[in-house]
Structure 1
Amino acid sequence: MSRADVEQAAARSSGQARAGRLGLFVAGTVVAVETVWLALDLPAGPLVSDLGAITVAGWAAVACVGAARRHTASLRRFWLLLAATMVFSLAGRALWTGERLFGQELPHTLPIGLIFTASLCTGTGALLCSVTAPRTRLGQARTLLDGVIVGLALIPIGWLLLFRNVALADLHEPLRYAGLLYPMFDLMQLTILVAVIGPARPVWRPMAMLGVSLSIRAVADATYVSLVAAGSYQPGTLVDVLWPLSYLLIGVAARPSPPPYYQGADEAGESPLPPRWRVALPYLPVGGAVVAVLLARDPTGHTPLPIFLALVALLAALALRQGLAANENLRLVARLRQLAYVDQLTGLPNRLAFTRRLRAALRGANPVAVLLLDLDGFKQVNDRFGHSTGDTLLTGLARRMRRAVADDGMIARIGGDEFAVLVTGERPAVPERLAERLLAALHPSAGEEVVGVHPSASIGIAEYGPQHITYTDLLRDADIAMYAAKAAGKSAYQRCTPALRESAVSRAELIADLRRAVDEEQLHLEFQPIVDLATGKVRSAEALVRWRHPRLGVLSPARFLPLAEETGLILPIDRWVIREACRAAATWQGRASTATVAVNIAAAHLRRPDLIATVTAAVAGAGLAPRALTLELTESALIEGSDAVLDRLSQLRELGIRIAIDDFGTGYSSLSYLHRIPATELKIDRSFVARLCEDSRAYATVEMVTRLADAFDLGVVAEGVETDRQHDAVAAIGCVQGQGYRYGRPAALAELRTVLARSGPPGVTGVAESDLTLT
């Protein structure tokens, strides 16, 4: 849009605002003049009253049309129907004025009645088109019936109050007394307005103004009917001001205002529950209507015909309202059942439906098998393309798997990317063949290949047998087999065997025991010396954690540390190891002040912001100099580290803590990250050292890493040195330090102190493995 277009739009908007303010001023002035005129009882009061009402109704109609042009489609129909209501009011009042000028004092004619009735219908339609009104036909009909019930209940009450003493024979002009319907319509519209405003929501200003307008009109119509019934109504009194005042408020409601905050909200979204009084609203006046019917009976016991007809209509409306409520309850029950048993994304049965079918199948005599399927790497799809794409892919995969299963079983979605298939019947399908069909169905399509999506799954199979007590046992075995399929390389299936089951149970028991290991002081440290290859002196010692299991004996780190990393228990173990290693190193500083201690840090701990606090607290608590502690980290943990991790390591180096890259060469070795990581030494992995004497490529690799470390001013430790030949080789290459059985096995602190106390040649033999506890 050009600058000129913007300026024209601004000028047009400003002009519309000025015109709106001018129109409001004129309409307000008309109402004020009419009020003063009628209050002073000046001549031609009825005509002034009629002309004032026509003028204000016309202005309100124009204002509503302007509001319809300003608002979006969701509110346009609301304002157009209000504009039509004002047009009908104007036309009815104009016809009323014309007939009264031609001799009828109160022209209650059929055309006028029909025009005013049309205005009431369009006004009711506007309320049912508001943004908070029900969107379904059923809901709109229910809301309309609520208003009709309240309105019909007013007829017996109004009759009792106004026409009880009027004989039916004296009612020569039925249309005159049909005016009783106007207050009924007003109350009906007020009831609908209260119903559609919306519970627990701020009231939109136009709706509030409309409610005040309806209230004023209800007072005006009720006053008019009561005066007409008493034969005391005179045109041109202050009562006549109430109608143009109600029109004025509708015009004020049409002035520019912010749309309701809930405009355009998801109609399928969950709406607040209405208060109890709102549910009971249409039924509250019914009791009064019944009492009014009983009191309106004449001495002979007969009920006046209008009252009888109103009562019949009220009962019919109540019956219809209850029928709609019953129908709505049935629809709600069906919807709740769908929500309870159907997955809303894929349309498949959910976990609850699957377990119900599984439990029912286990009570029968037919064989039962369960296939548990978990998509491989689906989290990466969400991370790369977003959850919307992930949901689309999941929906497509669900359709393909449903077709693959066909009639041979029931497939359900029981988790985010986890599905289950129930196979049962007199001649059930072979589970392995069904698993192969499922894997084939998951082969990526052409479109999926283009975007780099390669869906696959790991499937676990379990058949019900004597070893299963409940359905949960069967699902457990399927889960065990599924994880075994993942461990075997994914995109495969695995049947649960006794060996798998026993292994999983032992693993679960080991994890449970590991949770108690730190608190019950079952862990202890052993130390393996790291020696200077030139002098044979111990320069450092690596702290290695051991688990003295009360039932299984001493367990190596390889047995329990992977479980600790999977379960998050590695964090408390790491904290304990750092603290105890610092305390141990503090005890040998008097004998070997330059000897340091090295501690392995898990990747999960490296990503935690409290790592610095943990390390500094351990060093300070032990009274150990920061330079005496080396943190060993694997390549993979460092490569996956974020900028925050690198910043954390830099802070540790500034404190004096040393950083070693452990198992160097086995991970994704990148020269670029060596520039960024504040490391102090590299530890060459034992797999290269073990092949030094037989493999020239291993020798070249160790030599290259040594030269690289020297270029980066990093120390080098050769791990896994076990023989004299390996010792001679790494020393010849130029490695500064070595670690391995050639220099000492992992031993308790007491034995390490003995090693630290003596100074021997490079060929010194290592100490024996010991079960001594940490002292």
Structure 2
Amino acid sequence: MLPQDARQAGATPDLWSGAGFAAAVAILLAEAAWLVAGLPGAALASDLGAVAVAGWSTVACVGAARRHPAQLRRFWTLLAATMCLAALGRAVWTAQRLGDDSLPHTPLIGALFTAGIVTGTAALLCSVTARSAVGRARAVLDGVIVGLSLIPIGWVLVFRDVAAADLADPVRTLGLLYPMLDLAQLTILVAVAGTVRPRWRPLTVIGASLVTRAVADAAYVSLVARGDYAPGHPIDVCWPLSYLLVGVATRYAPPAPDETDETAEAPLPPWWRVALPYLPVGGAIVAVHLARRPDGQTPQLVLLTVMALLGVLAARQGLAANENLRLVARLRILAYTDQLTGLPNRLTFNRRLRRALRAGAPVSVLLLDLDGFKQVNDRFGHGTGDALLTTIAGRMRRAVGDDGTVARLGGDEFAVLVDDRPQVRPEHLAERLLTALQPAEEDEEDGVGGHTTASIGIAEYGPQHASHTDLLRDADIAMYAAKAAGKSAYRTCTAELREAAVTRAELIDDLRRAVDERQLHLEFQPIVDLASGEVRSAEALVRWRHPRLGLLPPARFLPLAEETGLIVPIDRWVIHEACRAAATWRDRAPDATVAVNIAAAHLRRPDLIATVSEATAGAGLAPRALTLELTESALIEGSDTVLERLRQLRELGIHIAIDDFGTGYSSLSYLHHIPATELKIDRSFVARLGADARAYATVEMVTQLAGAFDLSVIAEGVETEGQHAAVTAIGCVHGQGWRYGRPTGLADLRAALLPAAPA
């Protein structure tokens, strides 16, 4: 039967190869039975069987070389040469043995067998698991170390009790090398394939072949040394068995492409693999002492072996030292260089900054953060984001030139160090960087797929900076000021910015405690029916009673909450409080609903549905009485997961309103996908009604568009009678603004909702 790997991979050998395999197995079994039974002509049967099986393995390796991909052809070709040399060597052995009826250890036969070992070793070094030239050299040295170490050990175990006259026979002494060469070759195979997972099956089978041959050679040398070997001995069956195993290895499929990827990172070798070449060295040292003759002399072969072993060990250690130096250099690069862009990383930048500060020269730091980079990652994927970062790094290098050191601190944050160059003003450098980072046509040509601008903060070293961290902090403060100024800009840190940053940090710390300490409260602005003037809904607006600063409007703290992630717990609190408030007026105004603004960060959270469900259920409020208001930009940036979450909310009965409609990207296509129920026309359009004909046309167009999508319309920011008349004439159903009521407490809203008691 064929190995399963071959059948599954479609690499089934042809019928002739299958018949040859069966014939080789039959020959081996017949030879084994012949030798064990001690039948006449056992020596000739042994020789002919070995030649036949080696010949079949040669043909099988040639066939494998033709079937397998190009990177494996040299491997199988060298194995075919190895098997051919084995067959030729056994054929010459047989011819010479039949001539004088002795063991023909002639130079020709020795050369053929040695050449086979060389080609077999070369095949192992050409296998798909041998990854580098250095690794191949290390494997060869490891094999030589093992082979040389075993010579003194074998001498003691095999030849110690053999007479000196017999040892003068080169047949006996040189024959000792065969098992040592086998074990050296086996060591090379382990070195080449020992760390590969999953292991390529043919190498395992070839390893079994080498073990079989090593056992046969060791037994042969031991028997010859004692004078107990005769051709046709049962041990002879091990050699054709080793040839057969090589042929079996050809019947496996080639490795998968990912197993032959030379760029893949090799796993760390196990401890035994590192120690393998050195384990027999200790035994060799002991064997050298035991090999001494009674006269105190050490056999010449043992001495030569020890000298060669020392030389190979020195070469192996030299290679290891060279690898360690290369590894240290590689680790240094990894430690101090950003792997994506090739720029210095944060560690290198901080070291150079500290060095510049110690030198006392004028020092400036430009901290650069990309605007909208997260949207690039979310929309196009991290591969595109990485390509964009690489492009930006190249542009920054060219823009800065020799006037500073560009570094990537991490993510989408870069920095430029300007030191000992007083002629270069950091503001001029910032302008060059902003110009270089403007979107260009080459972005699309390079396949970047997106672009982004940058905000730059500048800090110059002064007496207020106690360390490099203070300088970086000031650059960070200026960078956030640049973002607040509209992005794609730069700002230099000043005392005022520094003070504002301290105030901002204190406000963020206070905001973290605001929810737990019940400092937040809600006000409600009515939403009225324009035809009747009745209050149909109310928008819940959060306020912060700061213990020191007094009542703070949303614009003062909600942007900070969104930047820091505190918006999510604030949103949760608002949803729960708004539902409880709405429940208090449902008994008298059952159709009046409550609207709550939801931040984009909360919209992306998977627990939003659970939060809304818990809030409505806990307050005893019907889900249809709650409206979630989401900004147009947050909805457009939403992923498929977000859209599915909105659909689930609509299935619960929750209403979805698109807030500030017309101020986002205004892509009409997204209205087909978002399960909205309401559109809220932004106050900027309503404010221009009566004075700007285009604003009137815009509001009218949005109202008609909403009707086409079966959406109700709410006009925001209605403050005057003229605006009220205009939105009513256009056909808006609901209105919101100071014309109908300012944000107020729950009690005042209830009074507006509830009808007056009868007299």
The Cα shift of 1:525 comes to 0.8
Q: What is the alpha-carbon distance in structure 2 between the residues aligned to residue 62 and residue 711 of structure 1?
A: 78
For 1:568-587, what aligned pairs fall within 5 Å after superposition?
Answer: 568-587=565-584
Residue type of the alignment partner of 1:241: V
Q: Matched residue of 2:343: which SS?
A: coil
Residue type of the alignment partner of 2:223: L
Q: 1:528 aligns with which of 525, 530, 542?
A: 525
Indicate if the aligned counterparts of 2:524 and 2:744 stay in contact, CA closer than 8 A: yes
Q: 2:202 aligns with which of 206, 221, 228?
A: 206
Alignment pair present for 1:156 and 2:172:
no
The Cα shift of 1:286 comes to 1.4
Any unmatched runs of 5+ in structure 2?
A: 1-6
**Identity between Structure 1 and Structure 2 (%):** 72
Q: 1:340 aligns with which of 311, 319, 335?
A: 335
Q: Matched residue of 1:462: which SS?
A: strand
Indicate if the aligned counterparts of 1:627 and 1:658 stay in contact, CA closer than 8 A: yes
Q: 1:283 aligns with which of 252, 258, 278?
A: 278
TM-score, normalised with respect to structure 1: 0.88
Residue type of the alignment partner of 1:31: L
Indicate if the aligned counterparts of 2:69 and 2:254 stay in contact, CA closer than 8 A: no
The Cα shift of 1:113 comes to 0.9
More deviation, 334-343/372-381 = 372-381
Query: Relative to 1, partners in 2 of residues 1:681 and 1:16: Cα closer, same or farther, differing over 3 Å?
Result: closer
For 1:451-530, what aligned pairs fall within 5 Å after superposition?
Answer: 456-530=453-527
Q: What is the alpha-carbon distance in structure 1 between the residues aligned to residue 578 and residue 84 of structure 2?
A: 90
Alignment pair present for 1:318 and 2:313:
yes
1:561 — aligned with what?
558
Query: Relative to 1, partners in 2 of residues 1:141 and 1:747: Cα closer, same or farther, differing over 3 Å?
Result: same
Q: Matched residue of 1:165: which SS?
A: coil
Query: Relative to 1, partners in 2 of residues 1:269 and 1:477: Cα closer, same or farther, differing over 3 Å?
Result: farther
1:233 — aligned with what?
229
2:134 — aligned with what?
138
Alignment pair present for 1:178 and 2:187:
no
More deviation, 589-598/151-160 = 589-598
The Cα shift of 1:58 comes to 0.9
For 1:21-60, what aligned pairs fall within 5 Å after superposition?
Answer: 21-60=18-57
**Residues 535-569 of structure 1: per-residue CA shift (max 9 Å, x gap):** 55433332211111222221111112222233333
Q: Matched residue of 1:269: which SS?
A: coil
Alignment pair present for 1:361 and 2:356:
yes
Q: Matched residue of 1:588: which SS?
A: coil
Alignment pair present for 1:374 and 2:381:
no
Q: What is the alpha-carbon distance in structure 1 between the residues aligned to residue 178 and residue 44 of structure 2?
A: 22
Query: Relative to 1, partners in 2 of residues 1:428 and 1:220: Cα closer, same or farther, differing over 3 Å?
Result: farther
1:406 — aligned with what?
401
The Cα shift of 1:59 comes to 0.8
Alignment pair present for 1:602 and 2:576:
no
The Cα shift of 1:395 comes to 3.7
Q: What is the alpha-carbon distance in structure 1 between the residues aligned to residue 439 and residue 694 of structure 2?
A: 40
Query: Relative to 1, partners in 2 of residues 1:724 and 1:352: Cα closer, same or farther, differing over 3 Å?
Result: same
Q: Matched residue of 1:363: which SS?
A: helix
TM-score, normalised with respect to structure 2: 0.90
The Cα shift of 1:294 comes to 0.7
Q: What is the alpha-carbon distance in structure 2 between the residues aligned to residue 82 and residue 406 of structure 1?
A: 56
1:420 — aligned with what?
415
Q: What is the alpha-carbon distance in structure 1 between the residues aligned to residue 471 and residue 692 of structure 2?
A: 51
More deviation, 702-711/240-249 = 702-711
The Cα shift of 1:180 comes to 0.3
For 1:232-271, what aligned pairs fall within 5 Å after superposition?
Answer: 232-257=228-253, 259=255, 263-265=259-261, 267-271=262-266
Q: 1:349 aligns with which of 329, 341, 344?
A: 344
Indicate if the aligned counterparts of 2:367 and 2:456 stay in contact, CA closer than 8 A: yes
Residue type of the alignment partner of 2:358: R
Indicate if the aligned counterparts of 2:703 and 2:730 stay in contact, CA closer than 8 A: yes
Q: What is the alpha-carbon distance in structure 1 between the residues aligned to residue 248 and residue 324 of structure 2?
A: 40
More deviation, 317-326/634-643 = 634-643
Q: What is the alpha-carbon distance in structure 1 between the residues aligned to residue 495 and residue 92 of structure 2?
A: 94
Indicate if the aligned counterparts of 2:142 and 2:277 stay in contact, CA closer than 8 A: yes
Q: What is the alpha-carbon distance in structure 2 between the residues aligned to residue 361 and residue 710 of structure 1?
A: 66
1:298 — aligned with what?
293
Indicate if the aligned counterparts of 1:536 and 1:759 stay in contact, CA closer than 8 A: no
Query: Relative to 1, partners in 2 of residues 1:156 and 1:564: Cα closer, same or farther, differing over 3 Å?
Result: same
The Cα shift of 1:304 comes to 1.4
Q: 1:116 aligns with which of 113, 127, 149?
A: 113
Indicate if the aligned counterparts of 2:589 and 2:754 stay in contact, CA closer than 8 A: yes
Q: Matched residue of 1:741: which SS?
A: coil
Query: Relative to 1, partners in 2 of residues 1:718 and 1:440: Cα closer, same or farther, differing over 3 Å?
Result: closer
2:683 — aligned with what?
686
> How many residues matched?
747
The Cα shift of 1:467 comes to 2.0
Indicate if the aligned counterparts of 1:132 and 1:198 stay in contact, CA closer than 8 A: no
The Cα shift of 1:623 comes to 2.2
More deviation, 122-131/627-636 = 627-636
Q: Matched residue of 1:521: which SS?
A: coil
Q: What is the alpha-carbon distance in structure 2 between the residues aligned to residue 551 and residue 312 of structure 1?
A: 87
The Cα shift of 1:333 comes to 0.8
For 1:655-666, what aligned pairs fall within 5 Å after superposition?
Answer: 655-666=652-663
Q: What is the alpha-carbon distance in structure 1 between the residues aligned to residue 377 and residue 590 of structure 2?
A: 53
More deviation, 537-546/574-583 = 537-546
Q: What is the alpha-carbon distance in structure 2 between the residues aligned to residue 22 and residue 139 of structure 1?
A: 39
Q: What is the alpha-carbon distance in structure 2 between the residues aligned to residue 141 and residue 583 of structure 1?
A: 77
Q: What is the alpha-carbon distance in structure 2 between the residues aligned to residue 65 and residue 631 of structure 1?
A: 73
